[in-house]
Amino acid sequence: MTFIASRKIIGSFAALAFGVTALTIVFGRFFCGFCCPLGACIDFTDHFLFARLRTKLPPSSHPLHKLKFLLLLGIAVAALFGVIFPLFFDPISLFARFLTVFVHPIVPLVADQVKQVPFLADRFSGSGDIPLFYGALGIGTLFFLVIAGGVRERRFWCQYICPSGAFLGLLSSFAPFRRRVHDAQCSECGACSKLCPTHAIDEKGFRATSTAECILCGDCIGYAKGCGGFAFSSPGNPASRILKPDIGRRTTLTGIAAGVFLLPLLKASAMSKRDTTGRLIRPPGAVPEPLFNARCLACSLCMKACPTNAIQPCGLEDGFSRLSTPKIVPRIGACEEKCHLCGAVCPTQAIRKLPYEEKQFAKIGTAVVDRHRCVAWEQNRECLVCAEVCPYHAIDAKSEPTTKGQFNVPVVVEDLCIGCGACEHECPVNDTAAIVVFKFGENRRESGVYASETRKREIIERRNRSGSDAAGEGTESAGGSSGQSKGESAEGKPTPAAPSSNGFSF
Amino acid sequence: MTSRRDFLKTTAAGGLALSLPAGLLAAESTPSKSEVVVGKGTASATIPKIIAKLGGMAAIFKPGARVMIKPNMGFPNPPEWATTTSPEAVYTVAKLCLDAGAKRVVICDNTLHDPEFCKQKTGIADAVKDLKGVVIFTPRSDQPNLFEEKTSDKAKYLVKTDVVRELARTDALICLPIAKSHSAGGVSFGIKGLMGLIRDRGVMHREMDLHIAIAEQLYYFKPVLTVIDGSRALLDNGPAGPGKVVELNTFAASIDPVAADSYGVSLASWFGRKCEGKNVRHLAHAAKLGFGNVESGMITEFSV
């Protein structure tokens, strides 16, 4: 789906995808039965919980099987229009998201408490932020609903909803490797049909199997030894007939129509025309936004990898189609200078894998000082924490005339700023920071480098400049001209990049 | 004969002297000299000698004590930038503590950047990884459970603050700062570095006179030893760098936190300007509050 939406085949991810596809054509939905982590989780909870809760017998008919094909078609049509919306429906990213948001924080949260026990504290000196995420309630509810389908019957999600399962099901419509009944041993008891978690076995005669539904779990052959098995079978074998997938002309048309009607919801939200907040800051290395939307699976691997918890799932404020896709919220955490794990883990390269040498030029936004909130600009207080934490030397501590007199204040050098948000994160002004990163100036590329060699050299040189270099004075010159304190300043002279500090009094 | 102008000057000066707050008198009541021992050379060779000159670690804490070392490790920068304490110095001091019978040495800092990156990139994690009994502990501001609130009646600004909980179990606090300039504080040595042991540093910038608040931290922390790591000094663009770095290869130690910092100030020119400890507002204020001596006249220097 990602490939369709982004109109591009993505490296290693493609190898995996095509591998699974080829195997499925031969072996059927083995992935659902043996590989899918969500399927495993569903089976697990079923075994220990839902199997005991279910009182009703599973329904004998299964008209809802076609629902998943409907969804698949709808999503495929949307993908043709460049929209990918795996959020609710892709089982892998659904599961990964659950792990990130609910399982991943458990150890740090427990460790945080353990560290307070004096005896244990030394053994758990590990540190780091406790990863917590926006939208946990929604993500949790969604996952809970998927699992809770087990109240009705086994593998509810896999049978009726999972569009990935539907896709694999279509591929395996003629799978040569499938269930075969050993005629001589079959007593036509029908146990196989009743045991089948996906209702893939014909209820009359029990010989035919719907390969689009069968997940090769083998429950049917475990009941009585020798009455059936799995083998390569010719298409016409009467002991191994194929039931066609439950998808007719009507389903197809409805699915396509559904896809078209999904478009306004997913793509044509006003947010996609114009971003009015400018706060949708994508992780560094993110490809241009339309392509990003097409590629991102919202699998949350980047959020889990981020050491500072800066990457958060988008909420509704960023548009419905962007739900749960990653954005950087500097107030939660800043993008760490020497880290680029998000790009390294992204399976679809919606976030490019960049070496550090390149990442320091992948600008994701620009910091803006709100002079009316800044305690240095507005209240003439000693602060400059933003300049202190900036890893890119993009905030100058300048002596400037403020409303209350000459004072050392932060001034952003826009072309050195990369938008990492260290300043916003550490700004001591409560709630909304006095220095805020907006996405303007972001530099996003699908491939290639982020700046020319000359430009890179210039930027590095300026980032490594020393205050004395900028002021053009020797180191040991006592009483250097840039030294000033308490508002007395060299009026009219160009202000040096890093003047003396207000921390001195002479 | 005294002119009227001279008379007025004298009177004004006298009046000013009389109106100086009582804090100055408090400073006079502290011991009149604070020993600062200074040595030049490599960290591993010099620090043990200057500590020995101070009477050895045995004079600082008893065997079996829990020791906390507060280095600068808040930035994921290499030691060459002089924004963080050199790993060699951290190793040497931690080793000295262990040799003197410390039960546990906790290297503690509330890092500005991601703690794991800071530990690795500064080289401090690598340096102490083979020392048994040494742990690096990085409580961060968004982990309030690792801090506890303390109050002080004497402070003007810093009347309450959350200090790292670990401190309650610590028998001896050793400051081990790198010599560096600081955009807001002027310079950053041991006393400024104590901000790495409190949770809400923002409030000191936002609502207080920063320099007084820095000095008032000494109501909460009692460093029993300050070792200035002057292997390198960051002369400008501090505290984050990169800036002008000089290699001084000088180490200084004192049991008086103000005197040690004050000596550190005299080591180099900060932001291109030569100054003394008394020119640094937070040091001057710390001395005024009676936490130590800032006047260089009171500082006795040894050379190893």
Stretch A445-468: mean pLDDT: 85
pLDDT score recorded for residue B23: 39
Q: Which of B142, B183, B276 to mutate to test the interface with A (most CBs of A within 10 A)?
A: B183
Q: How would you label A334-370 residue by residue, b for 16+ Cβ within 10 Å and e otherwise?
A: bbbbebbbbbebbbbbbbbbbeeebbbbbbbbbbbbe
Asked if the model's pLDDT at residue B18 lies above 50, the reply is: no
Report the gap between the CA of A96 and the closest CA in chain B (Å).
24
What pLDDT score does A487 carry?
A: 37
Task: Name the 3-class secondary structure at A193.
Answer: helix
Asked if the model's pLDDT at residue B27 lies above 70, the reply is: no
Cα A470 versus chain centre, distance: 42
Mean pLDDT of A123-129: 58
Residue written as tokens 């000191």? B204
Q: Work out the average pLDDT over A472-490.
A: 36
Q: Please give the residue of chain A at the shortest CA–CA distance from B277.
A: A504
- Distance between CA atoms of B240 and B263, rounded to whole angstroms? 22
Least confident of A221-235, A257-271, A427-441, B155-169: A257-271
Q: Which of A395, A504, A505 to mutate to test the interface with B (most CBs of B within 10 A)?
A: A504
| Lowest mean pLDDT across A117-131, A361-375, A390-404 | A117-131
A413 versus A503: the higher-pLDDT residue is A413
Average pLDDT over residues A365-371: 95
Looking at the predicted structure, is the pLDDT value of residue A501 above 80?
A: no
A468 touches chain B (CB under 8 A): yes
CA closest to B268 among chain A residues: A476
**How many contacts, defined by CB atoms under 8 Å, are there between A and B?**
195
- Which token pair is A430? 């409560």
- With contacts defined as CB-CB under 8 Å, which chain B residues touch A336? 76, 113-114, 117
**Rounded distance between C-alpha atoms, residue A395 and residue A497, angstroms:** 9
| Among chain B residues, CA nearest to A373 | B206
Spatial CA neighbour of A326 closest among A345, A304, A302:
A302
Please say if the pLDDT value at position A476 is more than 90.
Answer: no
Tell me the per-residue pLDDT of A47-84, one tens digit each, with 9 for 90 and over. Answer: 888 777 776 666 655 677 888 888 888 888 877 776 66
| Amino acid identity, position B229 | D
Asked if B244 and A475 come within 8 Å (Cβ–Cβ), the reply is yes
**pLDDT (mean) for B254-272:** 91
The candidate with the shortest Cα–Cα distance to B252, out of B186, B208, B202, B296, is B296
Q: Tell me, what's the pLDDT at A76? A: 82
One-letter identity of residue A344: A
Judged by DSSP in three states, A351 sits in strand
3-state helix, strand, coil in chain B (%, to 5): 40, 25, 35
Q: According to the model, what pLDDT value does residue B145 have?
A: 81
Distance from the A3 Cα atom to the nearest Cα atom in chain B, whole angstroms: 36
Q: Are B90 and B100 in contact (CB under 8 A)?
A: no
For A501, the closest of B113, B186, B246 (CB atoms) is B186
pLDDT value at residue A67? 84
Q: Tell me the torsion sign for CA atoms A27, A70, A158, A202.
A: negative
Q: Give percent helix, percent strand, percent coil of chain A, each to the nearest 5.
A: 40, 10, 50
Q: Indicate whether B16 pLDDT > 60.
A: no
The answer, yes or no, to whether residue A495 has pLDDT greater than 50, is: no
User: CA separation (Å) from A262 to A146, A293, B44?
Assistant: 21, 15, 69
Contacts of B143 in chain A (CB under 8 A): 112, 129-130
SS3 of residue A407 by DSSP: strand
Q: Judge: B202–A385 Cβ closer than 8 Å, yes or no.
A: yes
Distance (Å) of CA B229 to CA B109, B226, B261: 16, 10, 11
Name, in order, each residue with C-beta under 8 angstroms of B3's C-beta and a sequence gap of 6 or more.
none
Task: Please tell me which of A264-278, A292-306, B207-221 the model is most confident about, judged by mean pLDDT.
Answer: B207-221
* Contact: B138, A127; criterion CB under 8 Å: yes
In a mutational test of the A interface, the residue from B236, B245, B282, B288 whose CB has the highest number of chain A CBs within 10 Å is B236
Nearest beta carbon to residue B165 from set A116, A375, A429: A116
**Measuring CA to CA, how many Å separate A58 from each of A68, A224, B259?**
19, 21, 82
pLDDT at A34 over 60: yes
Residues of B in contact with A482 (CB under 8 A): 271-273
Q: Is the model's pLDDT at B85 over the cut of 90?
A: yes
Beta bridge partners of B227: B253
Looking at the partner chain, which of B104, B185, B240 has a beta carbon nearest the beta carbon of A122? Answer: B104
Q: Are B241 and B261 in contact (CB under 8 A)?
A: no
- Whether A478 shows a pLDDT value over 50: the answer reads no
Say whether pLDDT at A186 is over 90: no
What are the structure tokens assigned to B195, written together? 């901000």
Phi, psi (rounded to 5 degrees) for A276: -90, -10
Is residue A11 scored above 50 in pLDDT?
yes
Pair of tokens at residue B162: 């959350």
For chain B, say whether A460 makes contact (Cβ under 8 Å). Answer: no
Q: Which residues of B touch A499 (CB under 8 A)?
A: 271
pLDDT higher than 90, residue A192 = no
As a whole number of Å, the end-to-end CA separation of chain B is 52
Half-sphere exposure at residue B237, Cβ-oriented, CA atoms within 13 angstroms: 28
The token duo for A311 is 């990457």
Q: Give the rounded percent of residues in chain A with a pLDDT score beyond 70.
A: 82
Instruction: Report pLDDT for A483.
Output: 37
- Average pLDDT score over residue span A457-469: 77
Q: Which DSSP string do the residues of B221-253 spell out, in sequence order?
A: --EEEEEEEEEEEE-SSTTT----EEEEEEEEE
Q: What is the mean pLDDT of residues A466-492?
A: 40
Place of tokens 């950087």: A328
What is the reported pLDDT for B31? 47
Which residue of A337, A338, A504 is in closest CB contact with B279?
A: A504
Matching residue, tokens 């800051």:
A281
Is 90 exceeded by the pLDDT of residue A287?
A: yes
Contact A504 B242 (CB under 8 A): no
Contacts of B235 in chain A (CB under 8 A): 466, 468, 475
pLDDT score, position B302: 64
Looking at the complex, does the CB of residue A393 fall below 8 Å from at least one CB of chain B?
A: yes
Give the whole-angstrom CA distance, residue A215 versus residue A25.
13
The reported pLDDT for the residue numbered A500 is 63
- DSSP designation for A150: G
pLDDT at position A284, please?
94
Which residue type, as a one-letter code, is found at position A347?
P
**At A223, is the pLDDT very low, low, confident or very high (cuts 50, 70, 90)?**
low
Residue from A329, A459, A500 whose CB has the most chain B CBs within 10 Å, to mutate: A500
Residue B26 has pLDDT above 90, yes or no: no
**pLDDT at B142 (0 to 100):** 80
**A404: burial class by Cβ within 10 Å (0-12, 13-18, 19+)?**
exposed
Return the amino acid letter for A126: G
Q: Measured between alpha carbons, how far is B213 from B207 in angstroms, rounded to an integer?
A: 10
**How far is the C-alpha of B177 from the C-alpha of B261, rounded, in Å?**
9
CB A161 within 8 A of CB A68: yes
Residue that wins the pLDDT comparison between A125 and B289? B289
Among A88-97, A299-308, A395-404, where is mean pLDDT lowest? A88-97
pLDDT digits (tens, 9 = 90+) for B120-165: 999 999 999 999 889 998 888 888 888 899 999 999 999 999 999 8
Q: At what angle do helices B43-53 and B87-99 cross, to 10 degrees?
A: 40
Contacts of A427 in chain B (CB under 8 A): 202
SS3 B164: strand
- Kindly identify which residue of chain B lies nearest to residue A505, measuring between CA atoms: B279
Nearest chain B residue (CA) to A308: B114
Residue B57 distance to chain A (closest CA, Å): 23
Query: Which residue in B226, B104, B223 sits closest to B173, CA to CA?
Result: B223
Q: Hey, what long-range contacts does A448-453 have (CB within 8 A, 24 or more apart)?
A: A449/A358, A449/A361, A450/A358, A450/A361, A450/A362, A450/A363, A451/A361
Which of B189, B211, B186, B209 lies closest to B258, judged by CA? B189
Q: How many of the other CB atoms lie within 10 Å of CB of B67?
A: 29
What pLDDT does residue A272 have?
63
Name the maximum alpha-carbon separation found in chain A. Answer: 105
Within 8 A of B116 by CB-CB distance, chain A residues are 127-128, 307
> Is A9's pLDDT higher than 70?
no
CB contact (8 A) between residue B184 and residue A384? yes
Taking the CA of residue A296 and the nearest CA in chain B, the distance in Å comes to 26
- ipTM, 2 dp: 0.72
Contact by Cβ (8 Å): A163, A72: yes
Contact criterion met (CB < 8 Å) for A127 and B184: no
Average pLDDT over residues B76-84: 93
A119 touches chain B (CB under 8 A): no
Strands A228-232 and A177-181: antiparallel
Compute the mean pLDDT over every residue in chain A, rounded to the nearest whole number: 80
Residue pointed to by tokens 């949790």 = A140
Smallest CA-to-CA distance from B167 within B200, B198, B208 is with B198
How far is the CA of A29 from the CAs of A142, A168, A177, A346, B10, in angstroms?
Answer: 24, 6, 10, 26, 99
Of B117, B187, B236, the CB nearest to A466: B236
- What b/e sequence results for B136-155 when a residue is b if at least 16 CB atoms lie within 10 Å of its CB, and e otherwise? bbbbbbebeebbeebeeeeb
- Round the CA-based radius of gyration of chain A to a whole number and report it: 30
pLDDT tens-digit series, residues B32-55 = 557 888 888 899 999 999 899 888
Residues in B closer than 8 angstroms to A476, CB to CB, are 269, 274
Residue where the block lists tokens 């241009």: A288
Decide if A331 touches B, using CB distance below 8 A. Answer: no
Tell me the nearest-neighbour CA distance from A15 into chain B, angstroms. 34
Other beta carbons less than 10 A from residue B62's beta carbon:
12
A193-199 average pLDDT score: 84
